[in-house]
Amino acid sequence: MLRKKVPRLLQVFKRTSHCDRQQYDVIVVGGGHAGTEAAAAAARVGARTLLVTQKIQTIGALSCNPSLGGIGKGHLVKEVDALDGVCGRAGDWAGIHFSILNRRKGPAVWGPRAQLDRQLYREFIQSDLLSTPRLTVWEGSVEELMVEEPNPEKPGRHQVTGIRLGTPISARSVVLTTGTFLSGSLFVGQTSSPGGRIGDAPSSAGLSHTIRERLGLRTGRLRTGTPPRVVKNSVDVSLAKLHPADLNPTPFSFINTQTRCKPEEQLPCYLTFTTPAVERVVRENLHLNCHIQQDTKGPRYCPSIESRVLRFPGRQHQVWLEPEGLTSDLLYPQGLSTTMPPDVQLRLLREIPALHKAEIHTPGYGVQYDFVCPTQLSPALQVKSTQGLFLAGQINGTTGYEEAAAQGLVAGLNAARSALAMPTVMLSRTESYIGVLIDDLVSRGVTEPYRMFTSRAEFRASLRPDNADLRLTLKGFEELGCVSSERYKEAVRVRDTLQDAMAALQSLSALPHIWKQKLPNIEISENKSGELTCMNLLLYNDVTIEMLASVFPESLSPYMEFSQRLKIEAVYRPHCDLQKREMARIQREETMLLPEDLDYFSLPVSLSQEVREILDRVRPTTLGAATRLEGMTPAATVNLLNYVRFSNRKNKIHNMCLRT
C-alpha cells in the first residue's frame, strides 16, 4: 500500500516545483520521532506540509531500543496523544508487551510502557503519514537551508525561506529534526566513520555549515550509543528471569480502548546480570575503545556498559533481554550499550548468563553528533535569531523517542501557525511535562543529553498520565488548533462526566455507622462526627468506586467506566488544589512577554552588569522564564516586571532599545 502511494506523491512535487510562489507552508527535515510528529502536527493545523527524509523506508524507525514510554516518558506519550499526535496510537498498534511501571507507587508516577514490534511501528507511522491530508513526503538529502535577509518588521537577524534539495524548495517555515545526523560520527572500537545511524548515508555537510557559519548558532557535541543485537536462537533464556507483560494491556491512546496485540499473544522480557568477568573484559580492552576515551558528554542515565563498570565497579548490573518483534529473530540486550571492537563485544556478551553462546547479528556502536544549544530557542522551539526556523529532537540536546516526539509536535504546530500568520503558542510547565521539557531546555540549556524524569516536574501531583486529555486535548482544540473535532468532543464528554461524577460523590453521604455496616472491611474511624461523603470515603486506601456503587447503585452506576480515574481524582484533588495558587502565579508571569530584541545592556533600568549578561545570554521570552534563571535577584526581577508593565502601556522604550 505504501509503495503505491509514493510515486504519486513524487509527481505532485514535480508539477509544483517550478512555481515561484511559496511551494509549502512548512518543510520538515527528518523522518524520525520528532520529524513525523512535526509533519503530522503541521498538517493537522492546516499547513501544506512537506516531509523530506533520506529514505521513506526508515520513517518511524526505532534506531535504538524497541520500546515506548516508561516512567516520565509515558507521561510524554500520553500528552502527545492528548494533542492528537501519532506515537501513542502507533504504540498501541505495534506494542507486543504492555506494562504500567511504578504501579505500586502512586498514579502520578505510573509509567505506561510497551515493547514494540519494530516493523509494525514503522508501518503504522508510514501509513498514517502518507494518508494525512495536506502532507507530502519526499525522499532526498537536504543540501542546505536557503537563508535571506530578515523581515524587518519582525525580530531576528536572518530568515530561512526554504531548503535546497537539488533545486530550491521554498517554505514559510522549516523544521529541522536531524537527530544524530548533524556532523554525526559512528564509533566501533578504534574505527570511526561519518554517519548518524548504521546503514544510512551521512547527512550533508552543508546543513551543519549553514547552522554554524551562516546563522551563527552555538553548537555543542554529545554522544550516545546502542547495544549489539543478538540472535534469539543463540540465547538460553532458561538462565534468565522471565518477566511477563501485564495481564491486561493498557493502551497509550485516549481514543483506544484496547491494543492490537491480544493479552495472551504478548511476548515476555527476560532479566539477567553482568558478572565480574564482564568488568575484566572491559578493563582489559579499554585501550581499544576511542569513543569512551573522548570527553564528549554522554548521558549519566543511559551509560554504556563500559561507563557503568568503570563508575560502579564490583557490582552486578542488570541486562534486560527484550523482544524486537513478533516475527523477529533478534533480541535487544538493554543495558549493554557498547563501542568495543566487535570481537570484544562477543567475548563480553558471552560472560553473561543466558548469553554464553550468544551470536551477534549487528554490533553495538556509538554516535557523536552536534546539537544546537537550546537556549537559542523560544518556548515555541523557534530559533530566536532566525525567522522561520524551528528545531526539535536530538538536535536540541535531548535523548529519547518520547522527548523527540513531544518537541516535534510543538515545533510542527508552531511552524504551521507561524506560516499561516497565527501567533506561536507555548505549553506551560504548570500544565504538562512537555512544558517542563521545553522550559528546561530553552531556559537552562543542556550539559548532557536531556531525558525526562518525573522529579523534574514540580507539579507532579497535578500532571498525571491519567488526566493528560483534560489538561491538553481541550486546549489543543480550542487554542492550538491541532486536535480533531472528534477527539475534542470525546474529551468534552469525559470532562463533563467526570464533573458530574465528582459532584455526585460529594453529595452522596451517610453516617459513619451506616458506612461501617455497608463496608465492614474498611476501618472507618469511630470518632468522626457527622456524615461522611463518598469523597471522604475514597481517601481510604482500600475504598474503590465499585464499593461505593454497591451502596449507591442508582447514582453511581452511570460513572463506572471512569472508576479508576475517579478514585485517582478524589485522592489527588486536595494536593492539586494546594498547587493551584503557585501554578496561577507562574502562569501570570508567563503571560508577561519580554520583547525578543531587547538590548539588555542599554535598558534604562537599574540592573547589575552580571544580571544584564545573564539576560542577554539566555534572552528569556517571558518574565516567568527570567525569574527561574540562576543568578537573577529579586530586585532585578522587579525592575524587569516594572519595565514590562511600563513598556506594555507605552511601548516607547521598546522601540528605543530595539537593536538596529
Contact 219, 377 (CB under 8 A): no
* Residue 584 is a binding residue for other proteins (CB under 8 A): yes
Largest CA distance in the chain: 82
The DSSP output letter for 469 is I
Q: Which is nearer to other proteins, 366 or 388 (CB)?
A: 366
The Cα angle at residue 43 between residues 38 and 44, in degrees rounded to 5: 100
Using DSSP's 3-state secondary structure scheme, residue 289 falls into coil
Q: Which is nearer to other proteins, 170 or 637 (CB)?
A: 637
Pick from 31, 72, 184, 435 the residue near other proteins by CB under 8 A: 72
Nearest approach in angstroms of CB 115 to other proteins is: 13
Nearest approach in angstroms of CB 446 to other proteins is: 11
Pick from 128, 270, 624, 657 the residue near other proteins by CB under 8 A: 624
Nearest approach in angstroms of CB 112 to other proteins is: 12
Phi, psi of 99 (to 5 degrees): -155, 150
Q: Scanning residues 539 to 558, which ones bind other proteins (CB under 8 A)?
A: 541
Nearest approach in angstroms of CB 528 to other proteins is: 17
Q: Scanning residues 625 to 644, which ones bind other proteins (CB under 8 A)?
A: 627-628, 633-639, 642
How far CA 162 is from CA of 409, 412, 505, 567, in Å, comes to 20, 15, 56, 51
Nearest approach in angstroms of CB 6 to other proteins is: 37
Q: Give dist(CA 442, CA 621) in Å, integer.
A: 9
Contact 568, 464 (CB under 8 A): yes
Q: Give dist(CA 504, CA 514) in Å, integer.
A: 18
Nearest approach in angstroms of CB 575 to other proteins is: 6
Amino acid (one-letter) located at 75? H
The DSSP secondary structure of 9-51, one letter per residue, reads HHHHHHHHTT--S--EEEEEE--SHHHHHHHHHHHHHT--EEE
Pick from 78, 460, 565, 619 the residue near other proteins by CB under 8 A: 460
How far CA 17 is from CA of 12, 24, 316, in Å, comes to 9, 10, 59
Nearest approach in angstroms of CB 77 to other proteins is: 16
Q: Scanning residues 246 to 305, which ones bind other proteins (CB under 8 A)?
A: 300-303
Pick from 11, 455, 506, 602 the residue near other proteins by CB under 8 A: 455
How far CA 290 is from CA of 196, 293, 334, 365, 385, in Å, comes to 17, 5, 22, 11, 36
Q: Give dist(CA 507, CA 619) in Å, integer.
A: 50
The Cα angle at residue 58 between residues 57 and 63, in degrees rounded to 5: 155
Q: Scanning residues 111 to 140, which ones bind other proteins (CB under 8 A)?
A: 111
Q: Scanning residues 309 to 368, which ones bind other proteins (CB under 8 A)?
A: 311-312, 315-318, 320, 334-335
Q: Give dist(CA 167, CA 541) in Å, integer.
A: 65
Using DSSP's 3-state secondary structure scheme, residue 168 falls into strand
Pick from 5, 6, 16, 106 the residue near other proteins by CB under 8 A: 106
The DSSP output letter for 157 is S
Q: Which is nearer to other proteins, 44 or 73 (CB)?
A: 73
Q: Scanning residues 425 to 454, which ones bind other proteins (CB under 8 A)?
A: 444, 453-454
Nearest approach in angstroms of CB 572 to other proteins is: 8
The DSSP secondary structure of 171-237, one letter per residue, reads EEEEEE--GGGTT-EEEETTEEEE-SSTTSPPPPHHHHHIIIIIS---EEEEEEEEPPEEEGGG--G
Stretch that binds other proteins, among 97-105, 372-380, 487-495, 528-536 (CB under 8 A): 97-105
Phi, psi of 174 (to 5 degrees): -125, 130
Stretch that binds other proteins, among 99-107, 472-480, 507-515, 527-535 (CB under 8 A): 99-107
Stretch that binds other proteins, among 101-109, 131-139, 199-207, 402-410 (CB under 8 A): 101-109
Stretch that binds other proteins, among 26-34, 198-206, 524-532, 577-585 (CB under 8 A): 577-585
H helical segments located in 251-341: 276-284, 290-293, 305-311
Nearest approach in angstroms of CB 335 to other proteins is: 5
Q: Which is nearer to other proteins, 72 or 195 (CB)?
A: 72
Pick from 456, 516, 518, 612 the residue near other proteins by CB under 8 A: 456
Contacts 24+ apart (CB under 8 A), 19-24: 22/170, 22/171, 22/172, 23/50, 23/162, 23/169, 23/170, 23/171, 24/48, 24/49, 24/50, 24/136, 24/169, 24/170, 24/171, 24/172
Pick from 427, 461, 468, 548 the residue near other proteins by CB under 8 A: 461
Pick from 139, 200, 458, 596 the residue near other proteins by CB under 8 A: 458
Using DSSP's 3-state secondary structure scheme, residue 5 falls into helix
Nearest approach in angstroms of CB 398 to other proteins is: 15
Residues that bind other proteins (rule: CB under 8 A) add up to a total of 59
Contact 438, 622 (CB under 8 A): no
Q: Scanning residues 14 to 53, which ones bind other proteins (CB under 8 A)?
A: none
Pick from 107, 162, 400, 408 the residue near other proteins by CB under 8 A: 107
Q: Which is nearer to other proteins, 455 or 550 (CB)?
A: 455
Binding site residues, other proteins, CB under 8 A: 70-72, 101-102, 104-109, 111, 300-303, 308, 311-312, 315-318, 320, 334-335, 444, 453-456, 458, 460-461, 541, 571-572, 575, 578-579, 581-582, 584-586, 589, 605-606, 624, 627-628, 633-639, 642
